[in-house]
Structure 1
Amino acid sequence: MDPDSPSPGEGAAAAADGVEEPSFGPDSQFRRFSNDPRWALAMIRATVLEAAHPQIGAALIGNSTFVAHPWRRLRNTFLSMQRVFDADAGVREREAARLNRLHARINGADARERPYDAMDPSVRAWVVATLYESTVSMCRLSGQPLTQAEMEQLYAEYQAFLALLGDEAGHLPATLREFWQYFDRMVAQELENTEALRIVLYGLFDHLPAPPLLDGMPTLWAAGRSLVGPVLGAITVSSLPEGFRRRAGLPEIPGAQTVAQGAYLAMGMARFLPDGWLKTDELVDLLSLVPGSDDPRAKTITVVLEGVKRAGALLRLLTPLPPEPGPGAPAQGPRRSAEEFFHEVLDQTGDGYLDWPDLAAMARELAGRLDLDEPEETRLYRAFADWWRELQQALDADGDGRISKEEYAAAVPSLAGPALIRAAEVLFDAADTDGNQSIDEEEYRSLFRTGFRRDLRDTAGTGATYSRGAFVNDFVSFMTGRRRSGPYDPVLAQA
């Protein structure tokens, strides 16, 4: 990582000249690190450096679901990175187009009226720079620094990623020698102690919600988080560039450097496990698994978790757990309070208000579930935008452009207006991929990632189906009746 070391940049130059495309497949450096457990620590570190950039920090605060739904954000980000570095050029190009559409919808101004735009190529270059530098630092901290050739190859891959997005060369330096100078200059002159950075370091670790897999065990999760959270925070802070730590006023914790190096080294030992024992994509899927779904792993885990709960209840001499609902139980659950519904469903960004970024986050998640392309994706966003205008007109009592939970609760609204019904119909059309005006089991599973839960049959009796009317009624009922829902809670409510 020495900025004065020789850095010919041959890999990047070759990529720029079109002589040899950097490997995106199984031989890429990215693929090598994506299943390395140390990469989890490196990605946390990179996220902090991104959040310290004023534009990125403002975009995260105003548009991201990383506070309220961090596990969803983790899974979606990892899936996107896998697609970007897929061996199939078609998969890479389709994901790049999707990312560009997503970024084009993220812009605004921060609390100091400074504009931000997720399509700004210099901002996107900094995101890539943090990923690259954190991966290099990960190897250095664990006592296995990358060779010059490995750093060159990895850098060429990330340059190719920016080129895939259509960004012109020059926003990320052409050579590694220039990169280290650029990185040091950014750290010294551009980064700030932003609100987003403080949330990541001091809020997210302390209040990280349980992943869906452990959502039913809040006491166990809280106990583990209280132990692991401060350690992760200390490791992350101690691994940041020293100059930035001083400027941002981040605390110097005695022994944290040693703990950080020990953590990186210990996690790196997992790479010596036999092939197939540790796969990041499978771990991310497991954390996102919803107990009660038709995934065989979910059924096994549900049995284990229920056993743990019942054993705990017995030990604490608590009353027995209520009986499990039978297979014919309705999907709709008990009602939420208005405050719970606002916090768990409507306020997707976790800032305490309902505004357009919250509904945009819903549209983004639903579009991702269905893997929509144009023009279906834009139709879904437009439907949710119309719904936001309907909500704003009905509930924004003080005219500040957003809806507080007090405004929402005081109005006790009936939200089933024409725009919400239209949004439900657009979502149905997107899910009904074969256009036969009913959703079959495969289409249902694409949206909800769970087994078909409705006791409906088509007129021929050949299989379970979900009609347009039933779908629209269930979606509108969930969004207005504040009832917990087996299908919709994992999509819009869970972390």
Structure 2
Amino acid sequence: MAEPKPEVIVEGNDTAEIAQFGTEEKNENSDGDVIGPKLLDALEQPEQIRRIVREAILLAGGATAILLQVAEPGVAKGVDEYSNFAYRPMDRLRTTMTYVYCMAFGTRDEKKAVIEMVHRAHAPVNGPGYSADDPELQLWVAATLYAVGIDLYQRMFGDIDDAAAEAIYREYAILAISLRVKPGMWPPSRKAFWEYWDNKIATTEITDHAQNVAKSLLFNKLAPLHIRAVLPLVRLTTTEMLPPRIREAYGLKSTKTRRGAYRFAMGFTKVTYPCLPKVIRTYPMRYYLKDMRKRLRDMA
């Protein structure tokens, strides 16, 4: 999955601090999670990432991102053993999108609350050879969100100029550092990121746990009818969006007919999607933020 190069004007503050903030000051909450004020300061006003994550089209890459995430064996084991795609296939999407939208658009207090919730949810997810709080695993999860998101955005809107692309990339670090990833672990530039990415794609192993997740995600016979109805399209887009080595390891077939159908679907979407009113293109963002705020009020 190579990164194109988009046309966006850079506005607002320098965002380098997001990937470089200090860790001198820290606050500890009642659950033992450490969230430093510097982290919350860095999360305060992420301007560039907002123009990417607000777009509903990114949801089309949800299954691709999940299969890339579980290509990392530690992630696969945790998801397979602690998630239930078969019976509740939308739960991971809801959790992931709530987290992403909150980090980009939430208030300081909302971000702190959601980060604490994520940390508490991750605490019991561990076993021989893996832990949901492992920074290396969380770095990979955040990396998949960036790679899939920026790829889909540029397919729809065209290349972003280098300065804007670098600013957007730096802000994507918030999806990693708020998940216990040390700031220095996020690759310092897009060039370094794609080197990290290529190495991971070349070396990750599709385990039985990953295959279980893929089966529950793409061939779910227990999902509600409205979800099963769109699974053929999800399988098509996911198969074609995955890097060839990962696709083949999952046993997903890319045929000439399927590639043609995918190109047609993407071409049609590229023509029509940018013409949609922004209120439609940003509906999922508003829906999940509203859902998040309701749940936070209910917990208060």
TM-score in same-fold range (> 0.5): yes
User: 1:27 and 2:68 equivalent?
Assistant: no
User: 1:83 and 2:102 equivalent?
Assistant: yes
Pairing 1:361-380 to 2, within 5 Å after superposition: 371=296
Q: Distance in 2 between matches of 1:13 and 1:180?
A: 18
Deviation for aligned residue 1:62: 0.5
Picking from 267, 279, 292, the partner of 1:276 is: 279
Deviation for aligned residue 1:136: 2.2
Aligned to 2:233: 231
Note if contact 1:136-1:146 (Cα within 8 Å) is conserved in structure 2: no
Picking from 206, 219, 226, the partner of 1:206 is: 219
Letter in 2 for 1:28: Q
Note if contact 2:86-2:220 (Cα within 8 Å) is conserved in structure 1: no
User: 1:194 and 2:198 equivalent?
Assistant: no
Structure 1 stretches of at least 4 aligned residues deviating more than 6 Å after TM superposition: 19-23
Note if contact 2:46-2:171 (Cα within 8 Å) is conserved in structure 1: no
Letter in 1 for 2:80: I
User: 1:55 and 2:69 equivalent?
Assistant: no
Structure 1 residue matching 2:187: 3-state secondary structure: coil
Q: Distance in 2 between matches of 1:160 and 1:80?
A: 11
Note if contact 1:106-1:117 (Cα within 8 Å) is conserved in structure 2: yes
Q: Distance in 2 between matches of 1:254 and 1:172?
A: 37
Q: Where in structure 1 are there 5+ consecutive unaligned residues?
A: 110-114, 212-217, 289-367, 373-429, 434-495
Structure label with greater radius of gyration: 1
Structure 1 residue matching 2:127: 3-state secondary structure: strand
Q: Which moved more, 1:34-43 or 1:115-124?
A: 34-43
Deviation for aligned residue 1:266: 3.5
Q: CA distance change for structure 1 residues 253 and 159 in 2, over 3 Å: closer, same or farther?
A: same
Q: CA distance change for structure 1 residues 33 and 247 in 2, over 3 Å: closer, same or farther?
A: same
Aligned to 1:65: 84
Q: Distance in 2 between matches of 1:48 and 1:184?
A: 16
Structure 2 residue matching 1:76: 3-state secondary structure: helix
TM-score by length of 2: 0.75
Deviation for aligned residue 1:246: 4.2
Letter in 2 for 1:198: Q
Letter in 2 for 1:86: F
User: 1:245 and 2:247 equivalent?
Assistant: yes
Deviation for aligned residue 1:229: 1.8
TM-score by length of 1: 0.48
Q: CA distance change for structure 1 residues 154 and 193 in 2, over 3 Å: closer, same or farther?
A: same
How many residue pairs were aligned? 272
Q: Where in structure 2 are there 5+ consecutive unaligned residues?
A: 6-12, 23-37
Q: Distance in 2 between matches of 1:96 and 1:284?
A: 16
Q: Distance in 2 between matches of 1:120 and 1:108?
A: 11
Note if contact 1:52-1:194 (Cα within 8 Å) is conserved in structure 2: yes
Q: Which has the higher contact order (CA 8 A, sep 6+)?
A: 2
Q: Distance in 2 between matches of 1:371 and 1:12?
A: 28
Q: Distance in 2 between matches of 1:58 and 1:197?
A: 7
More helix by share: 2
